[in-house]
Structure 1
Amino acid sequence: MLTEKQIQALKPKDKDYVISDGRTSRGEGVLLIKVRPNGTKEFYFQRHIAGKKKLSKIGVWPAMKLTDARDKSREEKEVKLSPGTFQELLDGYVSKLETEGAASAGDVKWSFKHYVSDAFPALVKRPVSVIGPAEIRNIIARMIGNGVTTYCNRVRSQLHAAFQMGLEQEYNPRNYLETKVRFGLISNPVASVPVQADWEQPGDRALSPEELAYLWQVLPEQLSLVTSELIKFLIASGGQRPEQLLATERRQFLKDHLIIRNKKGRSAEGERSLHVVPYNKLMRQSLKAMDEINSTSTFPFEGKVTGSSLHTNSLSRAVTKLYGRHADKFNGPFTLRDIRRTCKTLMGVAKISKELKDRIQGHAFGDVSSKHYDRYDYFGEKQRGLQSWATWLQKNVITAELK
């Protein structure tokens, strides 16, 4: 066992060297002091994980006394580490979403890479069992420091779901026997990090017909062709969910309709429900424009990466920047999410009933009759409704005179 005098007497050498505080039981780990060539003396806790030595820095002597280092070492011994890293947990959750065909898989993958892996490269290499609330707080705090508001709550939610998956994998007896990666989680550290509630107020912004007309008519001059046609398609289709539309492959765009796998709910049989959206003439025009760019791409609205769809975050930023360049033409700020609400509101102005608006936008009907007995597809009704919507847009938006 080391003493304070022995530590004080340790002399620097040409290279780093370590001295152990004494032997411990196999597998428990050991307290070390590392002496640097410049004379700095650092406390480390060493344990073996999957046959490899892993060092965790505890503190620097003499700012940290030997007794404090031993106390900290005992705390470290109580943490039963598994080899699964933070990055493996994030990758595992993304793979789960992709396997399930979740529309959010692309967004979650981008978020984890942009806000976690790229921002904290050393952190994601650590065993996930040592990731605590402080580390999650630091991830969200950096986002807030960079001016990210509402989306920091989205990332918090995504991280919470990833850790929850790790917990379920750890404690579900069937999964535990099948999985090769062990995370050693005993709690969800994200639960202690509060949601920024003041950034989660329900939205009520809907563009007026005049604002929508300006947005539609300014699009080709201000954004890329793909982004412009995508926004037009979202409007013409009655405000479909962007993340679901962008996750829909070209093979699901058929002759007179497209099929969206509605990830917002499951059918009575447990399957993801299918949302059928008939085309109107404006939707066809946008799809024709995309075919002229590339008629064989996996996704009609392809992004910069070949074989990948335009990303929802890119689309959202484009809409926000567009408003910023033309703020004087609108009655206030608006975002991508407000376009869906705008379509819902103005379809009412176009005399489309609330029930039909809900069906066009793919809302789930929660009454017993709709959930368990009504298997009618309402294709004709939605088709006529979207045709009426296109006629209204043509008159009040597309050919409207801008002031």
Structure 2
Amino acid sequence: MHQRLNSSRIKKSTELARSTGRDLWLSDDLGAYGMGRLVLRISPGGARRFYYRPLRAAGRSKAIPLGLYSRTKQVGHLTLTQARKQASNLAVSLDTRSAVDTAETVRQTWPSPATSQISTQPRPTTMAPSNHSLIQLCRSYARHLKDNNKASARAVELAFERFIAPTELADQPARQISPTAFTDLLRGIISASSGYSASKVRSYVHSAYAYALSARLNPSAPKSQLDYGIESNPIAGIDALAKYKIARTRYLRDDEFRAIWRGLQSTKKFTIPGRGLRLCILLGGQRAEQVVSVKTSQVDLEAGTILLLDGKGNRPIPRQHLLPLPPQALEEVRWLLSYAQSVKSPYLLPSKMPNTAVSAGSISKEVLCIRHKMEADDPHQEHFQFSDFRRTIETKLASLGVSKDYRAQLQSHGLSGVQNKHYDRHDYMREKRDVLILWEKYLTALTDGLLPTAS
């Protein structure tokens, strides 16, 4: 028996969709037998959209999008009462049309004497492209990133759910959306959020279309990617919004970094994201996306190593980034490993949800909390964010006399050249260990109010 929709049920289901990471569909009776149903789709990102699902007898089996849900009257949205009225009107309209169309359909499909013979004409070799929607394309691309262990998978998924799923374009056929429509979408994101967010969404959607296009000439691509019927990339001609992607140059002063590191020494009320932040720093400024993806099987306490998977860029297989664990990092990893085993999680940094790790965003939020505390103590405190830590650490290592090559090996960047890719097979473990031990000495001296000399 179907339940009637109400605001309380919708609110609870929205929270459930967010916690499970899956779409939820709620059904609402229209009050009369044979009139189809009003349904509400709730996405993990919080988007809530009404659809009318007609009876198959009405000549349509696919749900018809009506609009976004709002508890109160709002431009561009539908209240529950308004959605019910629209669905009821559609039900009457489709029912009237189907009575006329049924006779016409029978007449057209009944074989005439002239056409009753088996056709000798060749059958078409390709199927007509389906009307898979934009949000289906985007989610398929996000799953592709996740299946290939790409560090950006979660960020891409969240961007699609936040900026694409709630829009009118979400349910339109991906192959039919024009560049102008996408330009209007990005313009709205710039106005409502930020230019940087718009530039990221443009990049992600461009990649989703490029992925679908490449499937046509990729024998290993899943057949589902061929069904979109996409012939061109509508994002290709849209401005890349480069002015919003200016590289940051901020790095932390010694007194700032000292205050941050001292605050991270206390284990009182320590969160898993907080420990993840500590580990990123102790390992010489590693990327949060790669650290949170580490599974317990990638830690070898006996050998004193931790394996990160560097999947950035277009690598079909993530590059293995093996790091030694100096004393403080080893102690941190040993605690995390013990905790992960106690909660039966496969991840070194487990979240509260079973079989999932904390997100890279949760580590960034730890940095945000630290900054807010520092700003409360000093109104003139300069802005900083997690990405500035990696730049700060490389800058400090350079000041300590660590060569550019060793810094690149430690932070896994600038290693895609011919020499590193094909000829240099040295693992640099001894050199990375020496650098990390030097870095731990620097952190200890910094905490004690001392600064080591360059070496």
Residues 316 and 335, structure 1, Cα contact 8 Å, conserved in 2: yes
Question: Which range moves more in the overlay, 335-344 or 254-263?
Answer: 254-263
Among 166, 177, 202, the residue aligned to 2:247:
202
Report matched runs for 1:326-345 at 5 Å.
326-327=374-375, 328=378, 332-345=382-395
Summarize deviations over 1:223-251 as a string: whole Å, max 9, x none. Answer: 85212211111111111111122222221
Among 378, 399, 419, the residue aligned to 1:369:
419
SS at match of 2:150: coil
Q: Percent identity?
A: 23
Letter in 1 for 2:370: L
Which residue in 1 is equivalent to 2:312?
Answer: 264
TM-score by length of 2: 0.63
User: 1: CA distance between counterparts of 2:222 and 2:250?
Assistant: 50
User: 2: CA distance between counterparts of 1:141 and 1:360?
Assistant: 40
1:94 equivalenced with 2:139 (yes/no): no
1:165 equivalenced with 2:214 (yes/no): no
Among 196, 201, 204, the residue aligned to 1:155:
201
Which residue in 2 is equivalent to 1:346?
Answer: 396
Among 220, 223, 230, the residue aligned to 2:276:
230
- CA drift of 1:186 comes to 2.5
1:271–1:182 distance in 2 versus 1, CA, 3 Å: closer
Structure number with the bigger relative contact order (C-alpha 8 A, sep ≥ 6) is: 1
User: 2: CA distance between counterparts of 1:139 and 1:313?
Assistant: 25
Report matched runs for 1:70-85 at 5 Å.
82-85=130-133
Which residue in 2 is equivalent to 1:390?
Answer: 440
1:217 equivalenced with 2:267 (yes/no): no
- CA drift of 1:187 comes to 2.2
Residues 296 and 337, structure 2, Cα contact 8 Å, conserved in 1: no
1:101–1:294 distance in 2 versus 1, CA, 3 Å: closer
Letter in 2 for 1:160: H
SS at match of 1:108: helix
Residues 83 and 181, structure 1, Cα contact 8 Å, conserved in 2: no
User: 2: CA distance between counterparts of 1:143 and 1:222?
Assistant: 40
Among 268, 273, 287, the residue aligned to 1:241:
287
Residues 299 and 308, structure 1, Cα contact 8 Å, conserved in 2: yes
Which residue in 2 is equivalent to 1:274?
Answer: 320
Summarize deviations over 1:54-102 as a string: whole Å, max 9, x none. Answer: 9899xxxxxxxxxxxxxxxxxxxxxx86222222211221222123221
Residues 107 and 311, structure 1, Cα contact 8 Å, conserved in 2: no
Question: Which range moves more in the overlay, 125-134 or 275-284?
Answer: 125-134
Residues 81 and 127, structure 1, Cα contact 8 Å, conserved in 2: no
- CA drift of 1:139 comes to 4.0
1:369–1:194 distance in 2 versus 1, CA, 3 Å: closer
Structure 2: runs of 5 or more not aligned: 1-58, 67-127, 451-455
Summarize deviations over 1:346-403 as a string: whole Å, max 9, x none. Answer: 112333222211111112435543332221111111111111111111111x3338xx
Question: Which range moves more in the overlay, 237-246 or 188-197?
Answer: 188-197
Letter in 2 for 1:199: Y
Letter in 2 for 1:320: L
1:180–1:262 distance in 2 versus 1, CA, 3 Å: closer
Which residue in 1 is equivalent to 2:174?
Answer: 128
SS at match of 2:259: helix
Aligned length: 325
1:161–1:303 distance in 2 versus 1, CA, 3 Å: same
Report matched runs for 1:98-109 at 5 Å.
98-109=146-157
- CA drift of 1:202 comes to 1.4
Residues 211 and 329, structure 1, Cα contact 8 Å, conserved in 2: no
1:285 equivalenced with 2:334 (yes/no): no
User: 2: CA distance between counterparts of 1:176 and 1:273?
Assistant: 22
1:289–1:364 distance in 2 versus 1, CA, 3 Å: same
Letter in 1 for 2:238: V
User: 2: CA distance between counterparts of 1:347 and 1:393?
Assistant: 11
Residues 211 and 330, structure 1, Cα contact 8 Å, conserved in 2: no
1:251–1:140 distance in 2 versus 1, CA, 3 Å: farther
SS at match of 1:194: coil
- CA drift of 1:298 comes to 1.9
1:213–1:375 distance in 2 versus 1, CA, 3 Å: same
Among 128, 136, 161, the residue aligned to 1:113:
161
Which residue in 1 is equivalent to 2:410?
Answer: 360
Residues 233 and 282, structure 1, Cα contact 8 Å, conserved in 2: no
User: 1: CA distance between counterparts of 2:188 and 2:350?
Assistant: 31
1:330–1:342 distance in 2 versus 1, CA, 3 Å: farther
- CA drift of 1:261 comes to 1.8
Residues 81 and 130, structure 1, Cα contact 8 Å, conserved in 2: no
User: 2: CA distance between counterparts of 1:238 and 1:180?
Assistant: 40
1:399–1:299 distance in 2 versus 1, CA, 3 Å: farther
Summarize deviations over 1:301-328 as a string: whole Å, max 9, x none. Answer: 2234222221122322432343233232
Which residue in 1 is equivalent to 2:107?
Answer: none
Which residue in 2 is equivalent to 1:61?
Answer: none
1:322–1:134 distance in 2 versus 1, CA, 3 Å: farther
Residues 242 and 312, structure 1, Cα contact 8 Å, conserved in 2: yes
SS at match of 1:189: coil
Summarize deviations over 1:15-35 as a string: whole Å, max 9, x none. Answer: xxxxxxxxxxxxxxxxxxxxx
Among 282, 289, 297, the residue aligned to 1:251:
297
1:274–1:315 distance in 2 versus 1, CA, 3 Å: same
